[in-house]
Amino acid sequence: MLINNQAAPDRVVILSTEHEVIAVQQLAAALSKLDNIFQRDQRLVYILDGTVRLVDKPYLAHLLSQRVAFARITSSSTRLCLFPQRWLDIVLSLGEWDVPHLRGVSYVPLVGASGNVVLQKGFSHDHQLYLTDDWSDLDIPEQPTLADARAALDFLRDVFSDIAYSDQRYADNTICCLATIAWRFWMQDDAMPAYLVTAHAQAAGKTTLARVIHTLATGRDPSVISESQSNEWQKMITSFLLSDTPTVILDNIQAITDNAIATYITSGRWTARLLGTNQMVDLPARSVLIATGNNVSMNMDLFTRFVPIELDVSQAGKWRSTNPIREAHAMRRAVVRALTIIYVAWVRNGMPLVPSGTRFTVWDERVFSPLGWAGAQIYASPSWSAETETELTPWIRFFEAVQSLKHGDWTARDVAKMLMDGESGLAEHAPRVMTTLRTEASVLSYLGKNLRKLKKAFEATDYRLVDTKINNVVYWRMLNGHGQRREGVD
C-alpha cells in the first residue's frame, strides 16, 4: 500500500499487520525494480568493482529501502522501522526472483553466434553476462578475414616475444592460456584444462608471467594461492567461484595431489560446503587454474589435463620492461582487440573445427579451434599430442636404464631402491617428475599409481610395457612394438 509519509515518499510501505506471505511477495517484487541486482546459481548477487558479490541481509535491507518501507503499528502510533530479519531470510532463500539471470562477468567484448560484438559496458541480456569495461572505441572489422586473424595472432606472439621459453613451441601455449581466460564463458559449463608454468630452477619468471597473462585478460590483479595455504584450497576456490574470479594462480607449487583439484579440472563443476554453514554449493568451474613451480609433481592422469608453459631459467629476467605488470596494463586494449578479431573472424568464417585430440570437447571447439585456425601451434601434454613417442622418450630412456641395471625384468621396489641409491646412477636418467620424489616410499607410491597409466600411454608408441605377476609380485619389462626387448638391453 502507498501512504503519504515524508520519511518514505513514493515508497511502498508494508505494515506490521500485513500477512507474512504477502509482505515477502511485496519485498520480492520490489527487487525487480532495482538496478545491478541479479540471480546466479539460486543466489542474489550484485556487481562491485568488476566482481560478483553475494547479497547478504544488511545489503538486501539497504536495497529494499530504496523502494519499500516497513511501518510498525502500535496502539498509539505508526512509525517506520527496520525490516524484520525473518522476512529478509525468506526473501534470500526463495531461490528464484524476478531479476535477470547472471552467468558472470566478462572482461572482454562479447561475441554472439553470428559474430556480432557487444562493446558497451553493462549487462547483456542476450549473453547473461556483465561487461565490466567499455570497449566502444575498439576498432573491430565487421568482416575480419583469416589474414586479419593471422595478423592478430602475430601481434600476440610479439607481445610475448621476450619471454625465454625452453622451447619455442611453448610460446603459443601462453596465448592459449590468455584466450582461455578471456573466452571462458564461451565454453558454457564444460571442463577446461589448467595451465602449468614451470622451469628447472627458481627465478625463471614463472609467477610474473602468470600475473602478466591474467592482467592482459582482465585488467585486474589475480588471486594467488601459495602451497602453504594448500589446506585451505577448497575453501578459497569456493570463495573465488562465488565471486566469479577469472583466474586462480597456485603459486610455487611442489606437488599437486589434492583430489579436489583433479575433480575441478575434469568435471567442470565444483561442489563444496559454503563457509560458515552446512549448505552445499554446486558451481560451474569457470576460474582458470594456473599452477607455477619447479619440476611440479603430480600423477600422470592429472598431468595430462595441464597445458605446459616451460621457461628457460638460463635466459630468465629478460623482460622488455622493468615493470611487466604496468606494461601489461598499457598494452591491454591492443591485446583484447587482437583476441576479439581472432574470435570474430573464426565465427564469421563458419567456426571451422581444428582437432586437437584433447579430452576437453567444448574447449577444443571454442578455444583451441579459433587459435589453431589462425595458425597457432598449441603444444598440449603427452597424452594429447600426436608426438606421443617423443614426449615419452624420457620414460623410454629411464626404463632402458632400469633394465640395463637389472639385466632384465624389474619391480617397482627395484626402481625405488636404485633411484634412492646414488651409486646406481639411475637418477641421471630419471624423468623430471621422478627427481622431485625424495624417499623410497614416495617413489613406490608414484609408480603404484602411474605404471599402468604409462603402460596405456605406451600403446601409442613403438614400445610396450608388459607386466607379469609371479607369487604376488609384479614384474615389468619394456618391449618394442614387435614384442622384442629393447635393443641393447639384456
Residue-wise pLDDT for 61-78, tens only, equals: 998 888 888 888 877 777
What band does 340 get if pLDDT is binned at 50, 70 and 90? very high
Residue 166: the pLDDT is 81
More confident residue, 410 or 284: 410
Element holding 106 (H helix, E strand): strand 104-106
Residue-wise pLDDT for 435-446, tens only, equals: 767 788 888 888
> Which of 281, 324, 247 is closest to 45 using CA atoms?
281
Residue 484: the pLDDT is 47
Residue 387: the pLDDT is 40
What average pLDDT score do residues 283-305 get? 80
361-382: burial string, b at 16+ Cβ within 10 Å, e else: eebbbbbbbbbbbbebebbbbb
User: 429 and 397 in contact (C-beta within 8 Å)?
Assistant: yes
- The answer on pLDDT for 489 being more than 50 is no
Residue 346: the pLDDT is 96
Q: How far apart are CA 296 and CA 284, in angstroms?
A: 26
More confident residue, 155 or 400: 155
Under DSSP, is residue 428 helix (H, G, I), strand (E, B) or coil? helix
pTM score above 0.95: no
Q: How far apart are CA 21 and CA 301, in angstroms?
A: 53
Q: Which of 168-177, 199-208, 340-349 has the lowest mean pLDDT?
A: 199-208
What average pLDDT score do residues 329-340 get? 96
User: 308 and 198 in contact (C-beta within 8 Å)?
Assistant: yes
Amino acid at 52: V
Kindly report the number of other CB atoms within 10 A of residue 82's CB atom: 10
Residue 229: the pLDDT is 63
User: 44 and 60 in contact (C-beta within 8 Å)?
Assistant: yes
More confident residue, 138 or 169: 138
Residue 357: the pLDDT is 64
- The answer on pLDDT for 292 being more than 60 is yes
- What does CATH list as the number for 146-374? 3.40.50.300
The three grid cell numbers given for residue 398, joined into one nine-digit string: 629411464
What band does 224 get if pLDDT is binned at 50, 70 and 90? confident
- The answer on pLDDT for 339 being more than 80 is yes
What average pLDDT score do residues 243-257 get? 86
For β-strands 43-48 and 38-40, DSSP reports them as: antiparallel
Residue 227: the pLDDT is 67
| DSSP calls for 190-234 | ----EEEEEESSS-SSHHHHHHHHHHHHHSSPPEEEEGGGGGGHH
For β-strands 104-106 and 288-294, DSSP reports them as: unpaired
Residue 231: the pLDDT is 66
Q: Which of 121-125, 203-207, 228-232, 249-253 has the lowest mean pLDDT?
A: 228-232
- The answer on pLDDT for 94 being more than 50 is yes
Angle between helices 171-182 and 206-218 (to 10 degrees): 40
Angle between helices 85-92 and 20-31 (to 10 degrees): 60
Q: Where are the domains of the chain?
A: 12-92, 146-374, 388-480
Q: How far apart are CA 392 and CA 447, in angstroms?
A: 15
> Which of 404, 129, 96 is closest to 244 using CA atoms?
129
Please report, for residues 139, 181, 344, 363, the alpha-carbon distance to residue 116 in angstroms, rounded to integers and kept in the order given.
13, 20, 8, 21
What average pLDDT score do residues 475-488 get? 63
The three grid cell numbers given for residue 1, joined into one nine-digit string: 500500500
Tally helices (H) and strands (E) across the chain: 17, 22
The three grid cell numbers given for residue 243, joined into one nine-digit string: 565471486
Q: Which of 3-12, 89-98, 209-218, 452-461 has the lowest mean pLDDT?
A: 3-12
Q: What percent of the chain has pLDDT over 90?
A: 37
Residue 143: the pLDDT is 93
Residue 271: the pLDDT is 80
DSSP label at residue 144 = -
Residue 5: the pLDDT is 46
- The answer on pLDDT for 228 being more than 80 is no
Q: How far apart are CA 424 and CA 104, in angstroms?
A: 55
Residue-wise pLDDT for 371-424, tens only, equals: 999 999 887 654 444 344 446 778 888 888 898 888 889 999 999 999 888 778
- The answer on pLDDT for 485 being more than 70 is no
117 has which bridge partners?
A: 111
For β-strands 129-131 and 122-124, DSSP reports them as: antiparallel
Q: How far apart are CA 365 and CA 370, in angstroms?
A: 8
Residue 315: the pLDDT is 63
The three grid cell numbers given for residue 415, joined into one nine-digit string: 626402481
More confident residue, 270 or 126: 126
User: 391 and 308 in contact (C-beta within 8 Å)?
Assistant: no
User: 346 and 368 in contact (C-beta within 8 Å)?
Assistant: no
Per the listing, cell 619391480 goes with: 411
User: 8 and 66 in contact (C-beta within 8 Å)?
Assistant: no
